[in-house]
Structure 1
């Protein structure tokens, strides 16, 4: 085969290879263009409407729950535990016996004191009869009287000592964990059990001094705790401290809360809202409808485009107080406007949407990953 013929065959082969590659690339490009030009289906979203609501202004604070009366019961005198008459977590009344210490020695000592007092009484009465007839001197009479009075005082002291061998509840309340056992020797001041009066119960918090003129005793208060995030405890301000802290420029406030079921425990951390008496109109939306960001909060308003399709409009808003998973919108949104309720993380401005659930009122529902992320973002902000 000549050189010219081989060259032609090789050239034709290369043209076929490169032509195939070029054809595949053209096909791939056309398929990609078709894919990019394919219209994205509308996103399915839940919707709600911004609502005008009677809004009671409130002052947010953090505080701690404390018992009206709360102590750690301890013994005043040493002794061996003879009897335990309560269990951990019991409800007790004032005067109920908690424990009894061995008191045999004290009882014997009391009998001795009573015998001494009786002998002193007899001697005093005998001399009383004689002194009126000048049969004994006044000094002998005075000494007998002093001995009689002293013997009665020793009886009283011994009875008081004996009573201390029985430890009683000082006020009604709920016991904590028992810290002593049967037969245990207790030195003076050994902790026995904690007792707290928990119904009603106090929550104590601080308020900046600039708000001191806006609060007063009797103002309504609500509180929430981490143990019961869905529950709101209600009460009222019962006392305001008479001075302002020079270090923090705050004033301590004490509120009394209803706690009939004992859900609140002393030491709990509480989020407290002091409600002011002047309600006002406010635009509110569910917390899940707001994206909280460092550079500004926003909502997705649902509007119609020129073709009559529903699309999202990203709207910056100024938010105010949050209460019961509903947030006040101070500006940027009007009552009645329809907004996306959940699923903000997967949306963008101008995106076509379809409404799966259109509620006339803000919803408190929080579900899914978006709600958890929104809560984390809100906490971070």
Structure 2
């Protein structure tokens, strides 16, 4: 009995030792695999700029359509057939130049009527001077003559359409032979031709009441267009409507722009920037450097040395003054010459590993 138990115990012990010998090398291999894993350190690339002393402006941005300050729609006073048009779009015309001529059938009738009334007027006038006609008769014929003469002159001006001032033809809205009756033509304009002076242009924008109070005549304006993206045009506010629209709570503001070379055209879309106030000799950083976090304004600073280099940023609380689309004035918390991060900084932490790829000067308006 004891011999059987001893043999059985010895057999079980051998099996246990064998299993342990199989298991232990596996554990050692797992530890070896885990020790071979290398985790790569993540470094966030960022750009930076140096805070500088400079000038900054508070700006308001609007958009609108460009038009000529002086523009006219040339049309006859009375309906009629268009007999001939002497100009084409793009032509430069002088003051008084004949632009178009209407059918003169009505004018000929008016002339015949004027000649008849004039003869009657001369005859009654002679009789009146001799005492053979009453003052009432003379007054009546005189009034009829003057009315016929005025009617003829009006029709004459209606037949011959002339330029009221020198300028450029910007539209030819009807064709020869068509009837002009005061209704818009094919392009929606109720005129035979359009005339404009392109040397001075304007933009009318609608300013909401909270911005309207900051605007005044004489303020300088920067104008940019999609058609000429590399050119900045300069203008000035010439009028600010003193009354706001009751529905939109906004007021019309007119900006005039000198247009050398006539590069700006009526109908172009433009974006305008109006500087309402400015400060000089203040600490300025790019607007993207300032981050609003937990109700506070902060910037991330790094040491000032040659880029690229790796480091960890530091959080600095700041107070800003004027802030526009490009720059921000720093009132307190940062000195001139500090290097601040300008991108990838919204969710940044002080313990984040970063690589500063470039450092630029700031302070551009």
- Common fold: TM-score over 0.5: yes
Write out aligned runs for 1:1-381 (5 A): 16=22, 18=23, 21-32=26-37, 35-36=38-39, 40=41, 45-55=46-56, 57-58=57-58, 60=60, 62=62, 64=64, 67-70=68-71, 72-88=73-89, 94-103=95-104, 105-117=105-117, 119-120=119-120, 123-124=123-124, 127=127, 132=130, 137-139=132-134, 143=137, 146-147=140-141, 150-151=144-145, 153-171=147-165, 175-190=169-184, 191-192=190-191, 195=195, 197=197, 199-206=200-207, 208=209, 212=213, 216-218=216-218, 220-225=219-224, 227=226, 231-243=231-243, 253-260=253-260, 261-263=262-264, 265=266, 268=269, 270-276=271-277, 279-290=279-290, 298-303=298-303, 310-323=311-324, 325-344=326-345, 348-359=349-360, 361-362=361-362
1:336 Cα shift? 1.0
Q: 3-state DSSP class of the match of 2:36?
A: helix
Assess if the C-alpha contact under 8 Å between 2:81 and 2:179 holds in 1: yes
In structure 1, what is the Cα distance between the partners aligned to 2:237 and 2:177? 46
Match of 2:6 in 1: none
Q: Which runs of 5 or more structure 2 residues have no equivalent in the other structure? A: 1-9, 185-189
Provide the secondary structure at the position in 2 that maps to 1:115.
Answer: helix
Return the offset for 1:78: 1.5
> 1:51-74 CA distances to partner (integer Å, 9 max, x unpaired)?
11133x535364645653445554
More strand by share: 2
Per the alignment, do residues 326 and 42 of structure 1 end up closer, same or farther by CA in structure 2, a change over 3 Å counting? Answer: same
Q: Give the Cα separation in 2 of the matches to 1:330 and 1:86.
A: 61
Give the conservation status (yes or no) of the 8 Å contact 1:207–1:253: no
Supply the distance in 2 between the matched residues of 1:81 and 1:236 (Cα, whole angstroms): 41
1:30: how far off?
Answer: 0.8
Deviation at 1:97, TM superposition (A): 4.1
C-alpha spacing 1:69/1:319, structure 2 compared with 1 (3 Å): farther
TM-score, length-scaled by structure 1: 0.67
Q: Is the 8 A contact 1:116 1:151 kept in 2?
A: no
How big is each residue's C-alpha offset from its partner over 1:22-67, in whole Å with a ceiling of 9 and x where there is no partner?
34422331122xx23x6x3765544320111133x53536464565
Check 1:121–1:357 CA distance in 2 against 1; reply closer, same or farther (3 A cut).
Answer: same
Deviation at residue 342 of structure 1 after TM alignment = 4.3
Deviations 1:173-207 (A, max 9, x none): 55545332232222134313555555142544537
Give the TM-score taking structure 2 as reference length: 0.70
Comparing 156-165 with 223-232, greater Cα deviation is found at 223-232
Distance 1:169 1:355, change over 3 A: same
Q: Deviations over 1:106-152 (max 9, x none)?
A: 24214413431453255346536xx63x6xx333x863674365245
Q: CA RMSD in A?
A: 4.6
CA pair 339-29 structure 1, distance change in 2 beyond 3 A: same
Q: CA deviation at 1:302?
A: 0.8
Tell me the SS of whatever aligns to 1:283: strand
* Unmatched tracts of structure 1, length 5 or more: 365-381
Secondary structure of 1:138's match?
Answer: coil
- Whole-angstrom distance in 1 between the partners of 2:18 and 2:92: 102
Q: Deviations over 1:246-297 (max 9, x none)?
A: 7787765544333334537468564442433x73432212245445779666
